[in-house]
Chain A
Amino acid sequence: MPPFFRLSLRKGEKAMDLGIFLGITLLAVTFLSLLRQTRPELAVLLSAAAGVIIFLRLIGPLQELVRTFEYLAAQAQINLVYLQTVFRVMGVAYLTGFTAQICRDAGEGALALKLEMAGKVIILFLAVPVLVAILETVLRML
């Protein structure tokens, strides 16, 4: 195991506690069903807040995973640039997917589609160095 990987953040507290996610989601759903008919504009914000809270609680374990993968890559002597590209693509995908979902929730499907389009272009942009490296390797082999 890498030295920094901790299965529990504090004593007696699991890093990944499923119960808290279930609780947050059910709580948000209960209040959402109350607000959806009378105050749809607040319902959108409430569902966005619930989503953000779930994501924020996932950030810590996600960071541990990222660091573990970086550790493994360093052990295998893989160029860290490629791994960082993968992580950047993951981050862009998470953020655009999350924001697009909020847009869909507010009934703006068209805007969500455009945001996802932007995310795809940015991901392609980030992937260009890897693509070039692969093609250069292939050309060297020929």
Chain B
Amino acid sequence: MKSFKFIKLYAFAGILLFTFSCKKPNEDVPVIELQDNRVFVINEGPFQSGTGSLSIINRDSLTVQNNVFEKINNRPLGNLVQSMEVFEDKAYIVVNNANRVEIADAESLLSLGTIENLNMPRYFLGISTEKAYVSCMDNTVAVVNLNNNTITKNIACGTGPERMLLVENKTFVLNLGAYSVDSTISVINTGVDTVSATIVLAAKPNGICNDKNGNLWIICSGNGWNGWPQASDSKGHLFCINPNDYSIIKDIEFPTNTEHPEKLVINKSKDVLFYVMTDGIYEFEISSTELNTNPFIACNTMFYGLGFDDKIEYIYGTDAKDFVQNGWVYRYNSIDGALVDSFNIGIAPNGFCFN
């Protein structure tokens, strides 16, 4: 009798083992609806071992689709999706820590290949139908031949080149400083792909826009971290420069060296700038000579991403929360700064692509 009990016990254990060894079939992959009136949200993804993703917000239906690239192409984008540009009907998605740019059809998002062998790429800028620039953390801007998606040249810039802006035949490259500090802008002559000038501004040039007068606006964060005052901190600056002779038209200093402004976007009529501080989004009229002391859109968190949607003239901000959960996108009316709506988005949203 006793041994029978034991047999039962082992049989039970065996069933348990078997049950746990079985696999469940995969879930069905949901169908993505890709529509015209859409905004891409770039989600960096979890910092260490995750993958970044793309989300789509539909301006009409106000619906969100997350993780669209993976759903369409059955593979993740890769670790730390930094930015995205649509150029010549193709989407170029820069995957920083995977050393590559993913190319996809801008309509269907079907993968069309990759640009490989980039060293920690940050931003993509289309120059001509045959040529693009990719800023990389190896202190260069890679010149990419868009016919075969190979790198033809690396243009040495300052430390940690990031955002770029094309004005006629000049590309202005902001040297943010990577893990250290830089205060310069490299100007690349796009005809010959060489640096023709270096403009010295202030520490950590972070964002660049051109206004209706043809002038350039650059925001420099200053040295240091928000919320972590150190002796080495320096003040942020907002510069207006002439793109032809690089002369400084305006240099507006931020009042303290403990607050470091970030991001810079301009409205549709190109006369009002927006940037972020720890207490919200600030507005700056280009004719002004003084900074606003109060935020245009007050918020208890510093937006991780900032965008201006010319089509509907909304300001977009992202909140990355704890960087390990889905973040949020907030949309504000650019006239009075009123909150329009908000969307739960992918992990660590850092920016937008309005096409």
Q: Do A and B come from one complex?
A: no
What residues of chain A have their CB less than 8 Å away from a CB belonging to chain B? none
